[in-house]
Every structure is written in structure tokens, then in C-alpha cells.
Amino acid sequence: MVEYFFRQKVISWMVAIILGVGGIVTFLGLGQLEFPEFTIRNALVITQYPGATPEQVEEEVTLQLEKAIQRIPNVKRISSVNMVGLSQITVELKTSVQAKDLEQYWDNLRRKVGDAQASLPPGTGTSIVNDDFGDVFGLLMTLQSEDYTLKQMEDFADLMQREIQLVEGVKKVSIAGTVNEQIIVSLDHDKMKTLNVSAESIAGLLTAQNVVGNAGSIKVQGKRLSIQPTGEFDNLEALGQVVIGSPASGLIRLTDIATIERTLNDTPSNLYHSDSTPALSIGVSFASAVNVVDVGKRLDTKIAELEQRMPLGMSLNTVYNQPSVVDDSVTGFLINLAEAVAIVIFVLLLFMGWRSGVLMGLILVLTILGTFILMSVKGIELQKISLGALIIALGMLVDNAIVVTEGMLIGVKKGQTKLQAAKDVVSQNGLPLLGATVIAITAFAPIGLSPDATGEFVGSLFWVLCFSLFLSWITALTITPFFFDLLFNTEKERGSSDENDDPYKGIIFTTYKRVLTSAINHRYITIGVVLLALGGSLASGKFVKNAFFPDSSTPLFFVDLWLPEGSDILTTEQSIRRLEANVLGMQDIANVTSVIGSGAQRLTLTYAPEDRYASYGQLIVETNTVESRDARMREIIELVRKDFPNAQYKVKALQVGPSAKAAIEARIYGPEPDVLREISSDIEAIFQAEETMDSVRLSWSNKVPFVEPVFLEEQARRIGVTRDAVHTAFLLNNEGETVGLYREGSDLIPIVMRNDLNQRYDIDNLASLNVWSQEQGKYISMADVVSNVDVTLVDPIIKRRNRVRMLAVYAEPLPLSGETAASVQAKVRPLVEELSLPDGYRIEWGGEYETSRDAQSALFASMPIGILGMFIITVLLFGKLRQALAIWGVIPLTTIGIIGGLVLVGAPFTFMALLGSLSLIGMVLKNGIVLMEEINVQAKGNSGAFDAVVAASVSRVRPVSMAAITTILGMIPLFSDAFFASMAVVIVFGLTVATVLTLLILPVLHCTFHGIKSE
């Protein structure tokens, strides 16, 4: 193969051009993202059960649905939230379910839920299955105005939706924050009582009057003509003219006993504000495998056109612009990559001469461009993980070329032809380099094989490293000798030296030779010193904090506010307005978007919207810089603590990886709600006492008052009042009863009937209401059928997890305190686990602890096989167990550099740091194999085993050191990236120590295991 590429220059040039030009063209066409996509395997089953208590919802609806859902294969978890009149069940599938199979599973879910509808109680609405959790609205905007109503803004938002949906690369456009209109029929109950008109008769009339009915058709002169009687409400005046009086009462129209108005729903599900102005949210999601930057440019053009058509007084505001973020992120990372490549080439030029530097720089660039081609085939986009993988691989990519170039230089200096030198170095090092490359790739395999969401998130790291490392081995053995022939002059390289000249007589080599000789002669002292250093590093490990993923470098953070449960959504809106006003008055605030009643539309995959709660509100705060973001977070925490003492809160920056509902979560399982609350109170007290904990809250929130009028059944029967009539009377006294639809074009507006505001009774005077007796045909005082009104405290929310009641205590590490979730949890965990629990109750830890544990478990699941495979390859390469053990003996010693670096820099040990530690295994083994192979080669040509070890070690100083130096210096640009910083620290410090150990301890261990002594 070497000779073929050496002699067939046309083929060699063609391969180089294909890699170069093809790589550039492919690079320009690759999709761009900030972070890779990962599959969200969740669906939500929503069921309405109007009027039911949380316990009734749980027992009569949720239990039945959970039983049916459990029969679906590969269900990982079923969790539910039961509230007044509402069941929300979240179904999560196992990570083994592939993304392409999700639709089939969700269809199965719909069938199971549909089959279960027959077992649900009367009055239950049809269950709705929502599986759109994977939609990410990378462009999130708000349409706001103080001069127009929400309905008017919705009309223009609909226009925007239709136009933007047509832009190439757009998958979906969603509008949120709309508030439905309704026709309010306000009843004058005094007139109704005087005229003896019942609300039930009005409701029946309005329902029947505006219904679309089938009157059939009539045959006239051979033609069939449809019949459609008039009488539908064309306008509100027509609705008011509906005759509702009976013949005995005379002609009574609806306007005689009621006022009619068109208004917005006063109990909306969610609301949006933009900089304290009422707004609608418009989210745009992108199609898969597109270049979002290019789509973003097309969207900018379309939105600019739409703004020209926007009514004066409306304005658009951008909450999150993924195309812009991706453009900045990818551009910045490409600059980092270019800087890293430049650093590597500069180091090669400096230490190996300009020809060697140019040669290996050329091979490095071609390898990277070739990797882009393979990324395109695999469907991997340009994003932080894939580009970061290239930066991590830089040192290893030139490693093979360094070995080949170094060997050819030595061979030429010894009088060989370039072809003979190439053939010798490839035949000698080809197989060991392949084994070392396979081992380096295998070290990253657990990342690519990890089946969970975290593994999917960082999986492109493995594939990019796999492609680039294999390609580097191929280019090292094929076109590297070809370009060597072009760049190096044989006679000039030989110079005046002869075969016996020592190419390693420089001061660096001679100094290293003396140190190595001394280390081998004092091997046990050397080993003892290294073991002491290892023990010291392990002891200092207690100063390293653990974390899962760091905060994003985007200057964006969230403020979550939970008012006491039971708060009306309009009350929550007032509190959010107060908070908005304070935040907008702070320095360096670019934009504040508020959501009331639920979380916002999903703007990134790592953002998990909160469930629907009327008492919940969230501020999405954008600042001018990351530094000002941290300062504002501190200010807002102090503000919320001072101005909202009865509210629960959470202040958190945007995350860059999969995250949990809360950083710290203690889950309590058991059957009785009161016992669960007692245990949660103990845990809550422990959390509150810890100064580094913040945002302590309960998943079930606080108990709320529940109004229970005591129904006198026997007495009601005697006077002809049904329980349903009592329900209707109370309903009309409050939010009202929907009694029909008002049609206006494509809009279907509900008609809601309720008592006039001046005739509604508060909780102390409910007995003054009148209830209709169908049997007697007149109104009866509510006091005749209700004895008194009891108020009791009940759980407003009952949560279940895997079909068992579960109450969770949430908390967060105090923001900007330097503490991580792991470090804070370690302080309170012993105290929580010391609590005495009744039989049938248990506590488990969730939050970041569980997410990190699951990710590491998935990562480590395939690691034993990978390590075994790497060890077997090492043994097969040399055929000697002792040599393999000597190489592997260096691996544990890298801990010295890893822990030392983290302690020195003060960086936490994140999931990315864990991946960096795994990558070190491959790097260290690769260098160890190159050195050990040279020891074996030298042993065949030297008179003594000791001289062979020393000579081989000296000859491998430059290749091993250059590979390490290029990797280490190439990692420098990653220190400024929050996501990769901890990995960079691990690799830089770990590889520095590992390189020294490879060049010193590996020869010492080899001599020790083989009994080789100084001659």
C-alpha cells in the first residue's frame, strides 16, 4: 500500500484533492446547530373531569388510565398530576426505543387510552394524547401591543403563522397565550324569579336555537334542494331577541332578564407579557437536518416583510433566536478549531522543522476535511459537540503522522532511500499504530453506545473521533510518505552525516536519558514516589465538587414564581407584573418575557416547560452580558425573598445539557397523603436549615380551603330539588355554565350564562342563593336544601410516580455560591436518610443526582467490554502479558493530573470531565503502545535489554511529546467555553502528567516486570 501511493502520484494527488475539495464543499453544506438534537420520549395524556376533587380524579380516572398505559411495552415511567377536574399523565419510554419507532408507540398509546374511555365515569371528557414534546421553537418571538386587544393581535399572529409556515426549512409555527372570547349572558335573578323563568330552560333554548341541524332535503322538479331553517344568531342583537317566555308569562325576550356582552375569558389557561405589555408568543420550529443559520436568514426576510404589514401600535420582540445563537456559537467554535490547528502546526514547525511542520499540518487539515465528508454521510451537523471532538482529537490526529515522519527522517539519515524508509517504518509501526488507534476509539465507545438521553446528546463526540482517528491512520500510511517525498530532499537530509551518527545527541535527549537511567536504577524509589503522589491526589479529591452539566454561556436566565396554591391566574398575573416592573428597572436588562399559568414554549431541548398551574409564573430574562446575568440573578433572589415572602421561587440560568425538574429532589413514596406531608415537613426543615440551599418547595404545594355545602338529600327530595340543580345554581353564581355556541365565520365562541355580578353571593352568603325545583316549577331557597357550608383543607395536587403516590421536596443550590447540587445534597443526605419512616413508606433521591447516575450507568454499562477489548488488543499486539500490564499500569496514575488540575483551577468534575477522563485512557495507551513497540524493535538490534529500553525511550521522546503537546495546546481555546472547560482541564493536566509517566514510569515498570537491570 505504501509503495503504491508512493509511486502512483496521480492517485495520491486525487485522494488529497478529494479530501480537500470534497471536505470544503461538504463543510459548506453541513447543517448547523448550537447543540445536537436528542430524542424526547415523553407523551402527555390529559383528561378533564369537571367538578371532581383531586382524589376523585386520581381514583376514578388516573388509576384506570395508568392500568391501561402500563400494558404498553418499553414504558420506563408513568407519572401523573391530579388536580381539581384535571388528570395529567406523563408517559416516558425506555431509552432503547428508537426515534423512528416513536410514532408507532404513540399510536399504541392512543389505542390503549381510547379503549380505557369506557371505564371512566360519566362526565369525564375524552382523553387527549399530546406527543409534541420534541418540538423545539428555536425562534421564539412575542407580538405585543398596548393599543390592541389580544383578539386583534391573534388575527395578525394567524397571518404571520400562515406566511412563516411557507418558509423553506420551517417545520411548525405555534401561537401561545391566546385568550378565547366568550359571550357572557348575565342573568338578573330577581327578574327571573319574578317571571318564574328557570336558568335550565334558558340554557336548553340557547343550546337548541343555534345548533346546526339536519332538516333534510326536498325534491322539486327533479332536483334535490337542501332545507335549512333560519333562526341562527347572526349577531348579539339577534341573540338578545330570543323569546324565552312561556305563553302564561307572556312574550319575554332574553334581553328582558339578562345583559349580553362579548368579552375575553376571565379564567385563561396562560398569559404572556413582553416587557410588562400583554403579548402573544409565536414559536417557530425548524425541520431536521437543516442549516438553521440559512433558515434564519430566510425568516429574517419574511419577518421584515410582515412587519411592513403590521398595524401601527403592534411590535415584535425576539425572546430567543437560535439561528443567531448557532451562528455565533459555530463561528466561535470554528475560530477555536482554527486556533487549535494553528497552534498545533506552529508547535510542529517549531520543534520538528518547517518541512515536517508543513507536512503534518497538511495531513492534519486533509484529515479534518475528510472527517467533514464522513460527518455528512452519518448525518452529523456542525455543533459544539462535533466541533469539540475535532479539537480533542487534534493531537491524536497528528500522532500517527509524527511517528511515520520521524521514522522516515531517521531512516533517510541512516542512508536509506525514502521509499525504503517509508516501507520500513510502515511495516514496523503500521499494525501497532492501528491497534493504538482502535484502542483510542474504543476508549470513546461508551459515549457512542450509551443509550440514554445524555449519551444521545454527546454521542456525536464518539463518531467524529472515530471517523477522524481512522482517517488519520489511513492518511499516515498512504499520503504522508507521498508528501514526504515531495517536501524532503534525500541528499540534504543526509547532509555530511553517516549511518553511525546519533540523531538523539541534543541536550533534551541527553538530559532525559540521564533522568531515565537514574529512575530505572532506583526503580522502587521511583515507583514509591509516584504511588505517594497518587495517594495525595486521591486524598485531595474531597476538594473537587461534582456537577452534571454547567450553565450555558447565553446571557439568559429564568425566574420561576409559585404563589400559594389556589391563587387565581389573574392574581398571579398581578404579582408577576410587580416583579416585572422591578426587574425592568435593573441595569443591563435587554428583555423580559413573562408567562403566567404555565411554562413557555420550549425554546431549547434542555428547557423543560412547567406544567399548567394558575398559581405559577415565569420570567425569561435576557441580559446584555453573562457577567450582568449573574449580578441580576443575585438581585432578583434578594428581591423575591423581600417582596414575595409567601411565594416559592427558583432562579436558574439556561442549562446546556439534559436537566431535571429540580437540582435536588427527595421523593417520598407511600399511600396516605397526611403521612407523606408529615415526612415532607421534616425533610423541608432539614433543607431550609442548610444555608447553601435555595428555593425549597413541595411538589404538592400547600393545602387549600375546599368549600363543601352540606346537601340535605331527604329534604331536597321532598321539595323536588336535585343535586344537579344545586350544582347548576352554584356554577351560575361563579364562573358560569357554557350553554351553546355563537358562530362567526370560522370562530366558534362559547355562550356562557351566569348571574349578574351584582347578584352573586360570597362564601358567607351562599345559602341566600335560589335553586330551581323542576318538580314544583319554581325557585326554592338554597337554605332549604343545604344546611351549612363547611370549609376544609385538602391537597390541591396529588402526584403519582409509577402508580404510587409520591410527594417530592425540591431544592436548588444557592445560585452563584460556588456550590453544586452534588455538594449541597451531600450535606443534607445523611440527615434525611436518618429519618424514621413508617412501614410502607420510602425515600429516594431524584434531581440531578438521578439524572447524572442514570447517564453514568448507561455510560459504564458498555465500559467493561470496552476495557476488556482494549486490554486484549494490547496483549495481542505484543504477545506478552507483562508488557500489556506495564502499559496499563500508567492508566491509574493519570488520576494525579486529573485531580490536581481540577483542584488547582477550581473546576467541578462534570459529565464532560468524565468523558475527558475516558478519552485519556485512549491517549495514554496509544503513546504507551508506540513506546513499547519501539522497545521491542530496539531489543532485536541492541546488545543488551537495558540499552534497548533506554534507546527506545529516547527515540520516542519526540513523537510522544509532540502528540501530547499538540493535544494540550490545542485544548487551550476550550478553556473559555463553559461546556468544555472541565473536560479541557482534565485532558490538559491529565495528559501532561500521563506523558511524563509514559516516558519515565512505563520503562521503569517494563524493567521491573522483566527483571532488566543496568549493565
Condensed to tens digits (0 to 9), the pLDDT of residues 921-959 reads 888 888 888 888 888 888 876 667 888 888 888 888 887
Do 1006 and 870 belong to one domain?
Answer: yes
The arithmetic mean of pLDDT across residues 768-788, rounded, is 85
Structural domain harbouring 406: 1-29+353-490
The arithmetic mean of pLDDT across residues 55-79, rounded, is 94
Q: Where is 794: in which H helix or E strand?
A: strand 786-794
Q: Assess whether pLDDT exceeds 90 at residue 685.
A: yes
Q: Assess whether pLDDT exceeds 70 at residue 915.
A: yes
Give me the pLDDT at residue 613, please.
Answer: 87
Q: What pairs with residue 807 in β-bridges?
A: 668
Q: What is the pTM of this model?
A: 0.81
Last residue of a domain, one of 110, 133, 156: 133
At 324, list the grid cell: 443567531
Give me the pLDDT at residue 405, please.
Answer: 83
Give me the pLDDT at residue 679, please.
Answer: 95
Give the dihedral sign, CA 294/299/304/308: positive
**CB within 8 Å of 815: residues ≥ 6 apart:** 633, 634, 637, 651, 652, 653, 694
Q: How far apart are CA 381 and CA 542, in angstroms?
A: 38
Q: How far apart are CA 833 and CA 669, in angstroms?
A: 14
- 603-627 core/surface letters (b: 16 or more CB in 10 A; e: else): bbbbbbebbbbbbbbbbbbbbeebe
Residue at grid coordinates 518547517: 354
At 124, which CATH number?
3.30.70.1430
DSSP states along 68-109? HHTTSTTEEEEEEEEETTEEEEEEEE-TTS-GGGHHHHHHHH
Q: Assess whether pLDDT exceeds 90 at residue 282.
A: yes
Q: How far apart are CA 472 and CA 477, in angstroms?
A: 9
Q: What percent of the chain has pLDDT over 70?
A: 96
Do 78 and 2 belong to one domain?
Answer: no
The arithmetic mean of pLDDT across residues 324-342, rounded, is 80
Do 893 and 1005 belong to one domain?
Answer: yes
Last residue of a domain, one of 490, 517, 541: 490
Give me the pLDDT at residue 139, please.
Answer: 92
Residue 301 banded pLDDT, cuts 50, 70, 90: very high
Do 970 and 1009 belong to one domain?
Answer: yes
Q: Where is 468: in which H helix or E strand?
A: helix 453-477
The arithmetic mean of pLDDT across residues 404-427, rounded, is 81
Q: How far apart are CA 717 and CA 52, in angstroms?
A: 23
pLDDT tens-digit map of 69-121: 999 999 999 999 999 899 999 999 988 888 888 999 999 999 999 999 999 99
pLDDT tens-digit map of 865-887: 888 888 888 888 888 889 989 99
Q: Is residue 799 part of a domain?
A: no
Q: How far apart are CA 416 and CA 433, in angstroms?
A: 22
- Pick the closest to residue 692 from 524, 602, 813 (CA basis): 813
Higher pLDDT, 177 or 249: 177
Do 620 and 475 belong to one domain?
Answer: no
Give me the pLDDT at residue 65, please.
Answer: 95
Give me the pLDDT at residue 248, please.
Answer: 60
Q: How far apart are CA 996 and CA 1013, in angstroms?
A: 21
Q: How far apart are CA 153 and CA 174, in angstroms?
A: 14
Residue 356 banded pLDDT, cuts 50, 70, 90: confident
At 795, list the grid cell: 391537597
pLDDT tens-digit map of 494-522: 554 455 556 667 788 888 888 989 988 88
At 371, which CATH number?
1.20.1640.10
At 131, list the grid cell: 406527543
pLDDT tens-digit map of 901-912: 999 988 888 888
At 814, list the grid cell: 444557592
Residue 810 banded pLDDT, cuts 50, 70, 90: very high
Q: How far apart are CA 747 and CA 95, in angstroms?
A: 42
DSSP states along 608-619? -PPPP-TTEEEE
pLDDT tens-digit map of 120-163: 999 899 999 988 766 788 899 999 999 899 989 999 999 999 99
Higher pLDDT, 657 or 393: 393
Q: Is residue 152 part of a domain?
A: no
Q: Is residue 372 part of a domain?
A: yes
CB neighbours of residue 563 within 10 Å: 24
**CB within 8 Å of 743: residues ≥ 6 apart:** 210, 232, 233, 749
Q: What pairs with residue 77 in β-bridges?
A: 92
Q: CA 862 from chain center: how many Å?
A: 23
Do 12 and 64 belong to one domain?
Answer: no
Do 362 and 480 belong to one domain?
Answer: yes
Count of structural domains, the chain:
5
Q: Is residue 841 part of a domain?
A: no
Give me the pLDDT at residue 382, please.
Answer: 85
pLDDT tens-digit map of 373-385: 999 998 888 888 8
Higher pLDDT, 574 or 227: 574
Q: How far apart are CA 512 and CA 515, in angstroms?
A: 5
Q: Is residue 123 part of a domain?
A: yes
Give me the pLDDT at residue 496, please.
Answer: 45
Do 903 and 940 belong to one domain?
Answer: yes
pLDDT tens-digit map of 580-634: 999 999 999 999 999 999 989 988 877 888 888 899 999 999 999 888 998 999 8
Q: How far apart are CA 753 and CA 183, in angstroms?
A: 8
Phi-psi region of 319 (alpha: psi -120 to 50; beta: other; left: phi over 0): alpha
380 phi, psi to nearest 5 deg: -95, 130
- Outline where DSSP puts E strands in 882-1006: none
At 747, list the grid cell: 370562530
Do 876 and 932 belong to one domain?
Answer: yes
At 773, which CATH number?
3.30.2090.10
Q: Hey, is 39 helix, strand or coil?
A: coil
Q: How far apart are CA 370 and CA 23, in angstroms?
A: 5
Last residue of a domain, one of 794, 817, 850: 794
- State the Cα torsion 742-748-752-758 to the nearest 10°: -80
- Pick the closest to residue 185 from 268, 267, 254 (CA basis): 254
The arithmetic mean of pLDDT across residues 729-753, rounded, is 86
Q: Is residue 498 part of a domain?
A: no
Higher pLDDT, 250 or 56: 56
- Outline where DSSP puts E strands in 145-231: 170-176, 181-187, 217-220, 223-226
Q: Is residue 218 part of a domain?
A: no
- Pick the closest to residue 389 from 467, 504, 501, 474 (CA basis): 467
Q: Is residue 282 part of a domain?
A: no
| Angle (CA) 686 688 689, round 5° | 65
Q: Assess whether pLDDT exceeds 60 at residue 247.
A: no
**CB within 8 Å of 21: residues ≥ 6 apart:** none
CB 133 within 8 A of CB 44: yes
Query: What is the average pLDDT score of the chain?
Result: 86
Lowest mean pLDDT across 63-72, 389-398, 447-456: 447-456
785 phi, psi to nearest 5 deg: -120, -5
pLDDT tens-digit map of 712-723: 888 888 888 888
Q: Assess whether pLDDT exceeds 90 at residue 831.
A: yes
Do 558 and 539 belong to one domain?
Answer: no
Do 543 and 558 belong to one domain?
Answer: no
Q: What percent of the chain has pLDDT over 90?
A: 33
Do 873 and 1000 belong to one domain?
Answer: yes
pLDDT tens-digit map of 19-33: 999 999 998 888 888
Give me the pLDDT at residue 211, please.
Answer: 73
